[in-house]
Amino acid sequence: MEPFKLGFIGAGFIGNFHAQAMKMAPHLELSGVYALKGSDKLAQYARENGLGECKVYSNVADLCKNCDAVALFAPNYVRVELTEQIVDAVKAGAPLKGIICEKPLGRTVAEATRLVELAQSINLPTAYFENQIHMKAIKNARQQLLPAQTAMGPIALARSAEEHAGPHEGWFWDPTRQGGGVLSDMGCHSIAVSWFVLTPVGKTLTFLEPISVNAETALLKWGLPLYRQELLDRMGVDYRKTPAEDFCTGTIKFRNPETCQIVMGQFTNSWMYDKQGLRLMMDGLGPGYAFEVNSLKSPLEIFIGDAAAQAAADAETALEKATASRGLLTVQPNEVELYGYVDELNDVRQAFLAGQDALLNWNYGLEITKLVQAAYLAAEKQKTIDLTDPNTKKELETYTSLIARGQGADILY
């Protein structure tokens, strides 16, 4: 079988993580990369790891001419501009079979809507990369609980959390470029997973109707660890002047349109989890049954004492966002598969070759963006937001949170 050729726009953390996952996804080739920095290193990694003769391109148009699909792994604040360049390339004859966008689809509902419209203008299949829905633990839990759900009723409460000590790149800490703080960055994960877990098996992803959301955002660190502050100083980010939330929590109520049952999804996200590293926690509770996922429970543990600590140059060889290189370390032997990246890549290849959207398309990404922005609105207004209200829907179309506008000091301090 001929390899399916992917082109990456962006060569940062997420691009490199997907390159690792491609080593375990059959019939995929990283054919090219376009990025302002890191492209040479990523291309070298691809060549050295059997992912193809990856070439570095100087513009989006040339990349699009030499691959089957492109993946937007560039920073949030350039997604619209880059998608416009992809559309121009396709109209000029680039033979793309689909377009991928890493979460979030947009910093606002207006941006996400623009991306959907752009993809529709060239009639190409889309994939919204939300890896956690593809986690085997989540998919297997739903399947194994299917008999219990059939006999007893569906999951009524889903709780999802993603927490770590903060992003690597300076632009993530600038809410005007990123689109907010941890709610924008990771709340999209947890909201999507909760919605998915609550959805009865066999129903469409948006079968359950969101009816209300309440949320809180907070700046709890009151400053940054020195290693983060040094990063921000180099990037020219004044976090004290334009802070973003490093903690958020909230609940979304959904209605089953067939039974009118109300179910609830709870999300909690943090950039202040200064422990082992990235922690994903999800659980679902139904009548007489439950499941739980905790990414910090691993079959492998490693201990590194003080005398040997200098040999551990990179803490993240143990766990994504790890904050220590000594002591008793939680180690995940295969993070890219655990977190769903391999299955996500397999899904997009099969879908695009069939001329179809991936399991999660850009319209779905737009719905997640609406829920994230509704959570920001609820936090600002300090009240529950009615998602069925036409006026609220209209407000969200043009809404930009105070935090994303650089006015987070007004509500976080």
219-256 confidence digits (pLDDT tens): 987 666 666 777 778 777 788 889 999 999 999 999 99
Least trusted range by pLDDT, from 20-24, 56-60, 235-239: 235-239
Helices marked H in 199-238: 226-235
Answer yes or no: are the C-beta atoms of 265 and 176 closer than 8 Å: no
Judge whether 218 and 412 are in contact, CB under 8 Å. yes
pLDDT band at 331 (very low <50, low <70, confident <90, very high): confident
**Cα 162 → chain centroid:** 10
Looking at per-residue confidence, does 227 or 390 come out higher? 390
pLDDT of residue 200: 95
pLDDT (0 to 100) of residue 147: 93
Helix ranges (H only) for 208-314 are 226-235
Give me the architecture of the 4-131+342-361 domain, per CATH.
3-Layer(aba) Sandwich (3.40)
More confident call, 134 vs 1: 134
The pLDDT assigned to 235 comes to 76
- Give the integer Cα–Cα distance in Å for 138 and 354: 25
Of 26-30, 256-260, 265-269, 314-318, give the lowest mean pLDDT range: 314-318
Cβ contacts of residue 203 below 8 Å, gap of 6+?
none
Which pLDDT belongs to residue 314?
63
Is 36's pLDDT higher than 60?
yes
pLDDT band at 327 (very low <50, low <70, confident <90, very high): confident
Fold of 135-334: Dihydrodipicolinate Reductase; domain 2 (3.30.360)
Q: What are the tens digits of pLDDT across the range 335-384?
A: 889 899 999 999 999 999 999 999 999 999 999 999 999 999 999 999 99
SS (H, E, C) 9-58: ECCCHHHHHHHHHHCCCCCEEEEEEECCCCHHHHHHHHHHCCCCCCEECC
Residue range 247-276: mean pLDDT, rounded? 95
Please tell me the pTM assigned to this model: 0.93
What distance in Å separates the CA atoms of residue 197 and residue 208, rounded to the nearest whole number? 11
Burial 115-143 (b: 16+ CB within 10 A, else e): bbebbeeeebbbbbbbbbbbbebbeebbe
User: Cα–Cα distances in Å, from 79 out to 103, 169, 287, 335, 400?
Assistant: 11, 16, 43, 26, 17
Q: Which of 78, 74, 61, 66 shows the shortest CA–CA distance to 32?
A: 66
Answer with the residue of higher pLDDT: 396 or 312. Answer: 396
C-beta of residue 288 within 8 angstroms of C-beta of residue 149? no
pLDDT band at 312 (very low <50, low <70, confident <90, very high): low
- pLDDT for 387 equals 98
- Contact of 84 with 11, CB cutoff 8 Å: no
Sorted by where each begins, the domain ranges of the chain are 4-131+342-361, 135-334
pLDDT band at 316 (very low <50, low <70, confident <90, very high): low
Proportion of the chain in helix, strand, coil states, percent, rounded to 5: 40, 20, 40
At 164-215, the pLDDT tens digits run 988 888 889 999 999 999 999 999 999 999 999 999 999 999 999 999 999 9
